[in-house]
Amino acid sequence: MKALRAFCAVSWLAPAWVAAASLPAFAHPHIFIDAGATLVFDEEGRLGAVRIVWAYDSLFSLVVVEERGLDPDFDGVLEPGEAEQLSGFDMNWIEGFAGDSYLLAGGAEVPLTRPLEYDAAYEEGRVVSTHLRALETRVAVGAEPVILQIYDPTYYTSYEIDLPVRLENAPEGCVAEVYVPDPEAASEQLVAALQEFAGSDDPLFEDDFPAVGDLFAHEVRVTCGP
């Protein structure tokens, strides 16, 4: 059912893709991830770290597991010790990779460290990984939202924040809310970008294609107050 949900997640794009059938196939997602987050506050009540959860779609999970020779009986259960082979499989980030997670405070991006801790498991046929990243500068959260966005700028991977979002050690009065984009408006902007590049004779035009993933970005907005 999770795989079906992942397929349906882009079904609203169908009318737009019919109109843009001749446009390049690279600008639609190939991997689908359900995301969750825990925002961790320090002893002084400042936001100090974020713990991200990625639950991969069943098809991609199957590829990951099969490549490692795990779950040979396809029962969706790993033998003791096998889960350790999954830990960190998606943490080998190239230099400059933002981790598909962006934290904004006061309209400015707050840099995050590379993963400090990470783990992975295989649950009901899906690979689920977690990682912890610290804020390079801790943030005091007030009435103006601090925003955590989770998205792939290239839109190769589609993220939906539909796993639990939690606040850890947060001061009293802090709340977190999840906001999702308008899918129709996002798809219209995507098609407009695709049409601009349609028919290009430049073999490298994909390198110049604008980042569109933020159009589909789910985000967590955190506020604190009396």
Residue with tokens 């939906």: 160
Residue 5's pLDDT band (cuts 50, 70, 90): very low
Q: Which of 126, 125, 121 is nearest to 56 (CA)?
A: 126
pTM, whole model, 2 decimals?
0.80
Q: Residue range 16-33: average pLDDT?
A: 58
**Domain extent listing, the chain:** 2-14+24-223
Residue with tokens 């009065």: 173
Dihedral sign computed on CA atoms, order 212, 213, 218, 220 = negative
Please state the φ and ψ torsions of residue 153, each to the nearest 5 degrees: -55, -30
Rounded CA separation 69/11 (Å): 33
Quote the pLDDT of residue 226.
76
Rounded CA separation 212/28 (Å): 10
Q: Residue range 179-183: average pLDDT?
A: 81
Please state the φ and ψ torsions of residue 74, each to the nearest 5 degrees: 55, 35
List, in sequence order, every residue forming a beta bridge with 51; answer none if it has no partner. Answer: 38, 132
Q: Are 24 and 194 in contact (CB under 8 A)?
A: yes
HEC letters along 93-109: CCCCCCCCEEEEECCEE
Dihedral sign computed on CA atoms, order 60, 188, 52, 174 = negative
Residue 139's pLDDT band (cuts 50, 70, 90): very high
Q: Which residue has the higher pLDDT, 132 or 70?
A: 132
| Interior angle at CA 33, CA 140 and CA 36, nearest 5 | 30
